[in-house]
């Protein structure tokens, strides 16, 4: 049966990526929709909607329909999806494409249905869904069609998804709302409490990426940051050490380790031993935090590897799944989700 889909869409919290078979990524835009608060009309989608942020009259609001890794507003998600599909394929279609959509692992059956309906309405002949951890595993280069357990820990901006995968499906999983964005918030809180300084989200992210970490470094590193003193209200410049940021992140990192632990506890014994042999694979931008792999490895007593090109694993996996959806479906002994 030759039914490989023609378009892949990664419906992410922060951005939407569209792939066309044979062309690669053709569209990458923020998952933002600007609507008129009073009429509920969509005014702009994606980059254009983000540009409107903060520069619009009060009746226009910008919405992130996929918040914290779940579909928080599915009517708006539907509209956004349709807009991106039509932008990719145009309205006059001679030949309707097959489309595969990568959805966050926390979505409900109703939300899945909404995504399928929206994709079909936007011009798909057939719609397939793939869950984020599966896409991450494919993107990390794992062969998930075999009866062997693999553990994927995908640490994005909004969510950390922990999943044990075998035969193309998710066996056990857990999704928590502690990930990259929460790390930034913890750094902002730490700076306020310890140094009486207010810093912005961008600065917090820079601190995290440049000097943050899950374990102590051999030699401490420092970074100068600008902020506003909360007492005097004046701008200040101070030097922060890597150890301070490690302290600030400690609690969040422990929550991620707890989430991994709870999945391991629920993993059937044969698969747990597969994972112990092969190790845990980490993907997503958050997996790049200094020493996080070593921290998890120590706590679980299982080897941990950060996938190559960790940030783009989900995107790459959705693209690759364009060619292998039928293999995945066969591995699970079922037909792919198909629609009228
Ligand atoms: N070198 C780094 N060290 C630590 N964190 C990093 C690094 N590079 C990127 N990040 C963080 O990774 C996060 C984004 O990851 P990613 O692009 O995988 O998320 P996403 O797919 O948009 O989110 P979600 O999976 O929740 O939808 C951000 O919080 C970013 O700050």
CB 97 within 8 A of CB 7: yes
pLDDT top residue among 78 and 197: 197
How would DSSP label each residue in 108-141?
-HHHHHHHHHHHHHTT-SEEEEEEHHHHHHHHTT
Q: Is residue 159 helix, strand or coil?
A: coil
Per the annotation, does 208 bind a ligand?
yes
Per the annotation, does 301 bind a ligand?
no
Distance 282 CA to ligand 1 centre (A): 12
Mean pLDDT for 89-96 is 71
Q: Per-residue confidence at 53, pLDDT binned at 50, 70, 90?
A: low
Q: Is the CB of 43 under 6 A from ligand 1?
A: no
Q: What is the ipTM of this complex?
A: 0.97
Beta-carbon contacts of 277 under 8 Å, excluding residues fewer than 6 positions away, are none
Distance 243 CA to ligand 1 centre (A): 21
Q: Which helix (H) or strand (E) holds 82?
A: helix 74-89
State the average pLDDT for the chain.
Answer: 88
Which is the closest atom of ligand 1 to the Cα of 66? 27
- Does the pLDDT value for residue 310 go beyond 90? yes
Distance 310 CA to ligand 1 centre (A): 9
Q: Is the CB of 303 under 6 A from ligand 1?
A: no
Distance 302 CA to ligand 1 centre (A): 23
- Which tens digits make up the pLDDT trace of 124-144? 888 999 999 999 999 999 999
Superfamily of structural domain 185-248? ATPase, substrate binding domain, subdomain 4 (3.90.640.10)
Mean pLDDT for 189-207 is 95
Q: Is the CB of 69 under 6 A from ligand 1?
A: yes
Distance 136 CA to ligand 1 centre (A): 13
Q: Per-residue confidence at 338, pLDDT binned at 50, 70, 90?
A: very low
Superfamily of structural domain 7-136+314-331? ATPase, nucleotide binding domain (3.30.420.40)
In the chain, domain spans: 7-136+314-331, 142-178+250-310, 185-248
CA angle, residues 278, 336, 151, in degrees to nearest 5: 15
Q: Is residue 229 helix, strand or coil?
A: strand
Q: Is the CB of 198 under 6 A from ligand 1?
A: no
Q: Which of 132, 157, 206, 217 has most ligand 1 atoms within 8 Å of CB, for mutation?
A: 157
Burial class of residue 32 (count of CB atoms within 10 Å of its CB; 0-12, 13-18, 19+): buried
Give the per-residue pLDDT at 152.
Answer: 97
Q: Which of 134, 156, 314 has most ligand 1 atoms within 8 Å of CB, for mutation?
A: 156
Q: Is the CB of 171 under 6 A from ligand 1?
A: no
Distance 283 CA to ligand 1 centre (A): 9
Q: Is residue 101 helix, strand or coil?
A: strand
Give the per-residue pLDDT at 5.
Answer: 58
Q: Per-residue confidence at 339, pLDDT binned at 50, 70, 90?
A: very low
Per CATH, 7-136+314-331 and 185-248 having the same topology is answered: no
- Name the residue with the closest Cα to ligand 1, atom 5: 286
Give CA separation, 33 vs 2, 180, 221, in Å: 36, 22, 40
CA angle, residues 146, 151, 157, in degrees to nearest 5: 130
Token pair belonging to 255: 């929550």
pLDDT top residue among 105 and 229: 229
Strand pairing category for 7-11 and 15-20: antiparallel
Give CA separation, 30 vs 25, 246, 322, in Å: 14, 30, 22
How would DSSP label each residue in 18-51?
EEETTTEEEEEEES-EEEETTT--EEEETHHHHH
Q: 142-178+250-310 in CATH: which number?
A: 3.30.420.40
CB 331 within 8 A of CB 147: no
């Amino acid at each position: 049966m030759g039914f490989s889909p023609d378009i892949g869409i990664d419906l992410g919290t922060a951005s939407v990526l569209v792939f066309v078979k044979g062309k690669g990524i053709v569209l990458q835009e923020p998952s933002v929709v600007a609507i008129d608060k009073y009429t509920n009309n969509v005014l702009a989608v994606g980059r254009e909607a983000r540009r409107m942020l903060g520069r619009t009259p009060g009746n226009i609001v910008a919405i992130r329909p996929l918040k914290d890794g779940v579909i928080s507003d599915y009517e708006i998600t539907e509209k956004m999806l349709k807009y991106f599909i039509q932008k990719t394929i145009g309205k006059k279609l001679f030949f309707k494409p097959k489309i595969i959509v990568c959805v966050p692992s926390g979505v409900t059956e109703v939300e899945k249905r909404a995504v399928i309906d929206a994709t079909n309405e936007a011009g798909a002949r057939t719609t397939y869904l793939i869950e984020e951890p599966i896409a991450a595993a494919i993107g990390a280069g794992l062969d998930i069609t075999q009866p062997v357990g693999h553990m994927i820990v995908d640490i994005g901006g909004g969510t950390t998804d922990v999943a044990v995968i075998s035969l193309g499906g998710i066996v056990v999983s857990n999704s928590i709302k502690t990930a990259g964005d929460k790390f930034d918030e913890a750094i902002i809180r730490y700076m306020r409490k310890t140094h009486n300084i207010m810093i912005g989200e961008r600065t917090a992210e820079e601190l995290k990426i440049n000097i943050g970490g899950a374990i102590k470094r051999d030699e401490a590193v420092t970074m100068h940051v600008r902020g506003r003193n909360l007492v005097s209200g004046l701008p200040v410049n101070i030097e922060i050490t890597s150890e301070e940021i490690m302290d600030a992140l400690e609690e969040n990192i422990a929550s991620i380790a707890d989430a991994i632990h709870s999945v391991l506890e629920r993993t059937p014994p044969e698969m747990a031993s597969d994972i112990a042999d092969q190790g845990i694979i980490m993907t997503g931008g958050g997996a790049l935090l200094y020493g996080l792999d070593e921290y998890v490895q120590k706590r679980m007593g299982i080897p941990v590897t950060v996938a190559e090109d960790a940030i783009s694993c989900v995107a790459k996996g959705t693209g690759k799944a364009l060619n292998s959806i039928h293999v995945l479906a066969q591995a699970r002994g079922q037909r792919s989700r198909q629609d009228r």
